Amino acid sequence: MKVSRKAAVFMLLIVSLSSLFFACSKKSKLDPLPSGPAITNVDSIPSSTSATITWTTDVSATSKVYYGTTNSFGSSTTETASTTKNHSVNITGLAVNTDYYYYVASKDAANNTSTAGEDGSYIFTTTAAGPVISAVTDSASSTSATITWTTDVAATTQVFYGTTTGFGSQTTEIDTGTNMKTSHSVTLTSLSTGTKYYYYVRSRNAAGNATTLGDDGTLDFTTTSTTPTADMYLMIDDIQLTGTTGTTFDIYTDDFGAVFTGGTNNLAYMGSAADGSAPNISGDSEATYTGDKHAGTACWRIPMTVGTSLSWDGIYVLATGLWRNQIPSDPGADLSGPTGTVTLSCYAKVSGITQTKLKIGIGDDSAWTDPLNIESFGTVGNKASCKKASAIGTTISNTTWTKISVTVGTDPDLTNINGVFFWSMSMADVTP
């Protein structure tokens, strides 16, 4: 059968196109087009002159935001050098009460970029002028920091923070609704030691208008890191048991000064399990220290060498003094002075360091396994339960005497307590 030249050319063209289509189709299956990170959970938190944009990606990627007052955008943030799956970018210098279009962009390790909102579907509106923020302060320890500030009207409380000016972490907004305040305080925990943190504060008034301060990266603090090597002293004075009724029982005041003399075994010390068998506490020769005291002419001062120890624990035992004589097995026993709700209290201060936290308690000194964790103590045999000051202790400083109190109980039976006042400190709480 004869085939015309024109038909032959047409058939050859069809075969060539089919081969080309098959080759392209096969190549497409072998070499898919690259795709960037999957972007989800895009959100914005605007204030009067700034906004925080957040989103997540399925893989670690960079962070960048494009924004503007039209859907042509026009402005952008600097792409972050670091990568993360949880993205947070702060935009500053915005106009009050204004609509802004924005979209987010993330680039993975293979330089594949994804965007979300480039079609102009993401919009936030800055708020009207919010409360006036002033007097922002920060106080950091090794693993925590407390941020305080004031506002001219009642407002909410929130802190944004991180190790870069991109921040990245935030506290839950508190003091909302009818609980709005003019004095604000937030404590950040679980921080890294020896690390610089940037932060900014945010308060929103009753109308929902928010103000931020420090979101330009001008506010920061650094947690403490190095272990102090100088000697330090713990000073304790006016240790008492007080009830809502009855007579206050003095464990140590200046009235007992004659009992507190070096070498009479009035003070005994033990270390915690974290310290090993030899605590770094020395002697009782400082028991009548007169250089600084809360009241009277003397106080109890404990010298300690600050090193790498994790903790210290001290037990005060009046082996032959008035406190031990109150035990039923001894002549003249009478521990019924304080009644009702009985509270153990003392005044404490430090020198050689800036501040630390102190726990106090009262109880039996037999069969103790971990004095540092005094909040976990319970009844041992027929002995009364040991009591805690609090799970985290009370902060004491080198500038003022601080009163520490712990409720022992209501009409507690102290007849089996063998004369122990104990305290506990942890190196993690020491600020050099």
pLDDT at 271: 39
Confidence of residue 404 (pLDDT cuts 50, 70, 90): very high
Average pLDDT rounded to a whole number, residues 192-209: 91
Confidence of residue 19 (pLDDT cuts 50, 70, 90): low
* Residue 83, token pair as written in the block: 């990568």
Average pLDDT rounded to a whole number, residues 120-140: 92
CATH 2.60.40.10 fits 133-222, yes or no: yes
Output the pTM of the full model. 0.43
Do 39-125 and 133-222 share a fold? yes
pLDDT per residue as tens digits for the range 283-330:
444 456 777 888 877 777 776 665 545 455 565 544 333 444 343 344
Whether residue 125 is predicted with pLDDT greater than 90 in this model: the reply is: yes
**Taking the domain 39-125, which CATH number applies?**
2.60.40.10
Domain residue extents for the chain: 39-125, 133-222, 231-429
| 116-136 exposure pattern, b = at least 16 Cβ within 10 A, e = fewer | bbeeeebebebbeebbebeeb
